[in-house]
Structure 1
Amino acid sequence: MRASRLVQLLLLLQTRGRVSAPELAAELEVSVRTVYRDVEALSAAGVPVYSEPGRGGGIRLVDGYRTRLTGLTSEEADAVLLAGLPDAAADLGLGTVLATAQLKVLAALPPELRGRATRIAERVHIDAPGWFHRPEDTPTLATIADALWHDRRLDVRYGRKDGEVRRLLDPLGLVSKAGTWYLVARQGADIRSYRVSRILEAAPTGEFFGRPDDFDLATHWAAAQHEFARSMLRVRARCRIDVKHVRLLRLGFEPAAVAEALASMSEPDAAGWVVVTLAAESYPVLAHGILPLGEHAEILDPPELRAQLARTAAAMAERYGRRSSSDAPPI
């Protein structure tokens, strides 16, 4: 552990120049006393490092000195790919490895490029999860990630709405979707996705497996997302909409449903209305989705959905016509 910290200290000094002991202590998560002990250890090992006392002083390397300890380990090389997603790296147990890898990359850059890279890191931050997203509890994630790195089969206990099931899975990839982790794994001949927060237990079986030669995680995930979105669109209705308000469909419908509606859209009639096919999970969901368009949309069929919206409109008209605005309670 100390050897790794000494390398990290050396790389910090090489990339940043003069650094105060308290700053180094905060970066390395150690005490100031430990920083000075580590500086003494580097000096004893022949590294030309020294301290400058007083205001504006700090710890620095002799001008012109550059270490050759910039080669990335295999774990650090893996972690670099997660450089824009520090939370994901931390979830996978690669947070410290990522920090060291980034230092090595910065140390290998010439001064002018190093400064540019540092400025970008100071000015751009990627926050992947959506607003109001609460991180899920994923106690099995570290075990799953370790099996993934080493191509080891997993015995998992998975929670579903109808109970729990056990599965033997070959982990092929992990995907973080808006802050939620999913495991893409092979079960028998099928490749499926499993929400990691629902994996109650995960244990390596001791068996290794061979990854499919033609498997590409990004391509598989994109296709699986598209297929899942389409599978949720179980009901359809024909609707006429004022073409000027078609854009409002995105307020009440999933992107896949909006895409299907736009693909089905007819040419505008003389009054500027178009006919589209709307899709949703159920008719109640479809009814709620069309409400934001108000008087700018009309369901044509099926008749039962048209009747449902007529009842909703009548109930709203009755409620809002019950009293004048002057009688309404203050907001």
Structure 2
Amino acid sequence: MSRLLAPNDEPSMYTINPLPQPEAPPEPPVQAPPGQVMLADGTFAELEGRALDELQQLQYEQERKFAAAIMACPAGSHQRGLVVGQAYDTVCGILAAQQFAAGQTDAPLIMGFDQRYTQLVLRLLEKQIAGGMGRPHLFEIGYGSGALLKEVRAHGHTVGGIEVSSTMRDQAAAEIGERYAKDLLLGDFREVQPDDVEKRPTVIFWNDVLEHLGPDEVQSFVDHAHKLLAPGGVLVTITPNWLLRPSDVTAVFHPPRTQACGLHLKEYRLKEVARLLRRAGFRRIATPLFATHGRLVTLAGGGRLVKQLLEPALDKLPVKYARLLCRGWAMSITLATKRRK
């Protein structure tokens, strides 16, 4: 079992760290954005009073610098872990300031949350119950503000997860409730062992995480997800398909089909995601069959192999139609099932 932080220990990105559990008010107020953030060069920048376009420019500059700093560190090193943690604390602070600058002062910072993903996860958990897997358990890699975990827990399922940003961890603790904070870990997912979680996850979910990992480390994350999953469990991977590039802050300043140069360190084709999953040992890899505005429709393999074959042709279409088909065919989503023993 991984070592847990003692009260007087100094936290590091490579320590699995349950949250402290002080009593919290039932409805915590929305946290104001930080007044300043640490930049990639170690200096600090004031956020208060900046216009939205200034904040977007700052985000773009810092994402590029942090991306370069991350890739300059050796893969799997403690140094890279520290840079990653600081990068997301900084960027999340800038994004929160952008939200306030846009007049959205009454809601927490929520990134990438979609009710269709909640519905998908709930259907998977209910299917596992019906299939005799016992009480299922959801584990989210990169839980952010905790929005998904909160909704799934409200349906009676046990949940947990891990985050690299202490800023988002604190927000998730306020959102999901301090009673459940012990299941919100902080650190490197690859250090999570079965004894660190309430029970072996039957569903592992990660949304907008894969593209933020160094390409030289990504296989180790997928391998560990396979290892941690219970037999018969499902890994749900959501990562913006390469056809939608760029899907990070690069899109604010550059045209479509530009390579991302922010914290999306690599944006993947469906074929590349499937290869990562297959190498990790997953038995069955599917996509949803198609997506509507309100639902992700799943059926068998979802036509994944056909979609992979069509990917190069879609990139030759006008951007508008390529993106429409990519989203409609749910090519950014995979469901990988671990073999039952």
Q: TM-score, normalised by structure 2?
A: 0.22
- Which one has a bigger Cα radius of gyration? 1
* Relative contact order, higher structure (CA 8 A, sep 6+): 2
| Structure number with higher strand proportion | 1
Q: TM-score, normalised by structure 1?
A: 0.22
